[in-house]
Structure 1
């Protein structure tokens, strides 16, 4: 039994295929989506999307954020930005983390919108470094 997966970036439909399971980085934690999953809509944080066939990961993507809609037979990911894990550059990720840490350090905490944006960018930058490190160790 499979679930139809669609991953859509702002530029195009990136992927449309059936998978046994997909794991997405929900804002409140990772979600494993299987066929007949309960309906839900969730925002995404920066992290990995893992595609499974049976018990094996067949593809991995890094997403910076977005939304996912899940029904009993479909998972649609609307990604802010997304790249294949194999395309992440550890050096670029490290540089982005340094910039995000600096932005977070100097943000005015009284400006809730700016603080939230800086916090989200820091979380995503750290997740990108973690994913790039994972990619290099393979």
Structure 2
């Protein structure tokens, strides 16, 4: 059994998770990462994706996050999400709305940097949609 550490998932609306876990898989902007106890200190930005929480007792829990930051320390991990919801509660209409807004942002982009950022966000959202929603 892996050593436990404290994990918290916080969105502006509420605290979704605050418990001892064995590991957490986070969709970092530089790539997916697995956090375990005694992890080296890291601060990372988070892209839209799925966070998988492996609690000490019970089965894995999955949450959709829409960006944010992860603060990882040897003693724990805090993920501050721009928005987060359990995968089981995900709303297909909400994903579709976010994708439409991202398309509008892309169409309204005034310069190359804005266009590139909007394209990346739209791609992340469409990938997320395909990963969590049935066809």
| 1:28–1:20 Cα change, 3 Å | same
TM-score (norm 1): 0.81
Equivalent residue, structure 1, for 2:20: 18
Equivalent residue, structure 2, for 1:47: 49
- Alpha-carbon distance in 2 for matches of 1:53, 1:11: 22
| 1:36–1:62 Cα change, 3 Å | same
Q: Deviations over 1:71-117 (max 9, x none)?
A: 1120100111001111112244234324423432452334x3x3355
CA RMSD of aligned residues (A): 2.4
| Residue 124 of structure 1: how far off its partner (Å) | 4.1
Q: Deviations over 1:48-86 (max 9, x none)?
A: 1001147x8510000001101111120100111001111
Secondary structure, aligned partner of 1:36: coil
Equivalent residue, structure 2, for 1:126: 126
Secondary structure, aligned partner of 1:11: coil
Deviates more, 1:32-41 or 1:124-133: 124-133
TM-score (norm 2): 0.82
Secondary structure, aligned partner of 2:129: helix
May I ask how many residue pairs the two structures share in their alignment? 132
Equivalent residue, structure 1, for 2:72: 70
| Residue 39 of structure 1: how far off its partner (Å) | 0.7
1:1-138 superposed matches below 5 A: 1-53=3-55, 58-110=60-112, 112=113, 114-133=114-133, 136=134
Do the aligned partners of 1:46 and 1:123 also contact (CA within 8 Å) in 2? no
Gaps of 5+ in 2: none
Q: Where do 4+ consecutive residues of structure 1 move more than 3 Å?
A: none
Secondary structure, aligned partner of 2:60: strand
